[in-house]
Amino acid sequence: MIALDTSSTIAFLSGERGRDVAAVEEALRFRQGIFPPVVVTELLSDPALRSEVGTLIRAVPRLEIVDGYWERAGELRALLLRRGLKARVADSLIAQSCIDHEVALVTRDRDFRNFAAHAGLTLE
């Protein structure tokens, strides 16, 4: 399984190209893609979302929230902020979901590098 971030999923849905888009396409084709819950929220928040895209998003499995998730996500964010690093709430929640399930994240969002360098997030 591989977790799909909002940025790479949007790029895929928009027909863009890139290594991350190819990874999303392959993960979806072979039913290996999984969404962190926050990614589902971000994707479905688009007011111009076409219904067939919404159907696709809803069909992709998602990582489950496990006990202590919210606390660990808060502590993860605090760890990065103490180091003077950027750590948005949504990114912290996505990173913690991936860390909890030990799955790599496909993303084009460079902010996740901080989570990889300091908190054990694996990036694809």
What DSSP letter does each residue of the chain carry, written as one string?
-EEE-HHHHHHHHTT--SHHHHHHHHHHHTT-EEB-HHHHHHHHT-TT--HHHHHHHHHS-BPPP-TTHHHHHHHHHHHHHHTT----HHHHHHHHHHHHHT--EE---TTHHHHHHHH---B-
pTM of the full structure: 0.95
Summarize pLDDT for 73-102 with one digit per residue, the tens. 999 999 999 999 999 999 999 999 999 999
Summarize pLDDT for 10-57 with one digit per residue, the tens. 999 999 999 999 999 999 999 999 999 999 999 999 999 999 999 999
Model confidence at 123, pLDDT cuts 50, 70, 90, reads very high
